[in-house]
Amino acid sequence: MTGAGGVPEQVRLARARLTRIVEPGWEPAGRWLREFGAVETARRIDAAAEGDDEPLPGVRAERWAGLVGRAREAPPPERDLTRAEGCGVRFVCPGDAEWPGQLDDLGDVRPLGLWVRGGPSLRMWALRSVAVVGARACTDYGVRMGASLGAGLAERGWVVVSGGAYGVDAAAHRGALGATGATVAVLACGVDRAYPRGHAQLIDRVAEQGLVVGELPPGDHPTPSRFILRNRVIAALTRGTVVVEAAYRSGALGTARWAQRLGRHAMGIPGPVTSSVSAGVHELLRKEGVLVTDAAEVVELVGEMGELAPERRGPVLSRDLLAPDAARVLAALPARGTRTVGELARGAGATEDEAIGRLYELRSLGFVERHGDGWQLTRQEFGSVFPEGGVP
């Protein structure tokens, strides 16, 4: 018997059961699945719970005892799958058509499976997605930048992935939702419950318009270690991670480090150098992170060839449009006072005849004016060169 996507039902049941027994991202369990398969791994743990089998290799006795104790208390996987279905949640396994292949880059710490709430295909959405993460206790600047990135990426057809937490995560989700775009919340608890509780409405909105994803079965609760381990899933799902405000000790930086480890792009939004909440971002940028300032620059980095951000430059001044020889004569004029044709010719490296020709050209354009035998900048041009009134 097979489930959706061709995964045998017994494999799906075994993986669903193991999400009740094994902590997310535990490497020994990944090795067991690679060596023995999900069905045999679950069978041997259950057999040990009945006192009929030896421990699986590579685990200490006390840790094995903990797994066996969990197996005794865990409900049948059929109950979890039925409960999930009642909440509009499905369980996606490696081998399913919806499974995002980039999660396989995690190797032995790959999720056992993902509980998914929402209508779209996780695999299709993950193909064009960017993580936006950052400080929970962020500043108003962090909120503005998170929301701006979320909206800007969504408007460009990118899926915004974050963790559903307070601060930057919530701002990124809301930015994408406000732009009627696509967003995915990766939780460190069961996807049928909201954490933090104050985000119940936000998580429901994400589920209605996008996807809510997690490794833990329905009803399971978050722990500090589960938040940290959740970050590897956010990094692996996406093409790159953008960090908006993060102190030196920050889970958001952990997501960026996972992105770098997996060969994804790690990006950071700079903040004031005096801000402790941006200190971790600046450290990331000093090393291998890439500085970005808006959604266009993020897309230029993670997108396809030709998805370039607009060229950034200051305002074009009229003197920028002058021919080089005329510009040299203009540059030879001082901020105040006049210069003769001979002095200007020497300053510009030109003959007097050439200087005279350029000076009359500059006068017709409003750059200079003649006073007797001397030439000087017009008041208008002086103001454009020295707008604060200062003279070098």
Residues ≥6 apart with Cβ < 8 Å to 324: none
* Confidence at 73, pLDDT banded by 50, 70, 90: very high
Residue 185, CA distances (Å) to 122, 190, 298, 302, 346 in order: 11, 12, 19, 20, 68
Around 117, how many Cα atoms within 13 Å sit in the side-chain half-sphere?
28
Average pLDDT, the chain: 90
Stretch 126-152: mean pLDDT? 97
Amino acid at 381: E
245-282 b/e with 16+ CB inside 10 Å = b?
A: bbbeebbbbbbbbbbbebebbbbbbbbeeebebbbbbb
> Of how many residues is the chain composed?
392
As a whole-number percent, the residues of the chain with pLDDT over 70 amount to: 92
The partner residues of 92 in beta bridges, in order of sequence, read 114
- Residue 336 CB-density burial (10 A; 0-12 exposed, 13-18 middle, 19+ buried): exposed
Stretch 345-360: mean pLDDT? 90
- Return the CATH number of the domain spanning residue range 318-385: 1.10.10.10
Higher-confidence position of 28 and 309: 28
Percent helix, strand, coil in the chain (nearest 5)?
50, 15, 35
Least confident of 127-136, 270-279, 341-350: 341-350
pLDDT at 1: 37
**Axis-axis angle for helices 27-36, 38-49 (nearest 10):** 110
Q: Do the bridges between strand 183-187 and strand 159-162 make them parallel or antiparallel, or are there none, so unpaired? A: parallel
Contact 11, 38 (CB under 8 A): yes
Residue 69, CA distances (Å) to 18, 145, 290, 307 in order: 13, 46, 46, 53
Domain ranges for the chain: 4-77, 113-302, 318-385
**Order of strands, edge to edge, in the sheet holding 265-269?**
89-92, 114-117, 211-214, 183-187, 159-162, 129-134, 240-244, 265-269, 290-291
Token code pair at residue 373: 């035998």
Token code pair at residue 328: 């040299």
Between CA 265 and CA 237 the distance in angstroms is 12
Contact 277, 135 (CB under 8 A): yes
Closest by CA position to 26, among listed 103, 109, 104, 107: 109
Measured distance between the N- and C-terminal CA atoms of the chain, rounded to whole angstroms: 83
Token code pair at residue 285: 């940028």
* Confidence at 390, pLDDT banded by 50, 70, 90: very low
Q: Domain 113-302, CATH 3.40.50.80 — does that match?
A: no
Stretch 160-174: mean pLDDT? 97
* Confidence at 385, pLDDT banded by 50, 70, 90: low
Residue 42, CA distances (Å) to 1, 15, 17, 70, 72 in order: 18, 8, 7, 12, 12
pLDDT at 171: 97
Per-residue pLDDT for 3 more than 70? no
Token code pair at residue 79: 């109950």
Between CA 264 and CA 150 the distance in angstroms is 19
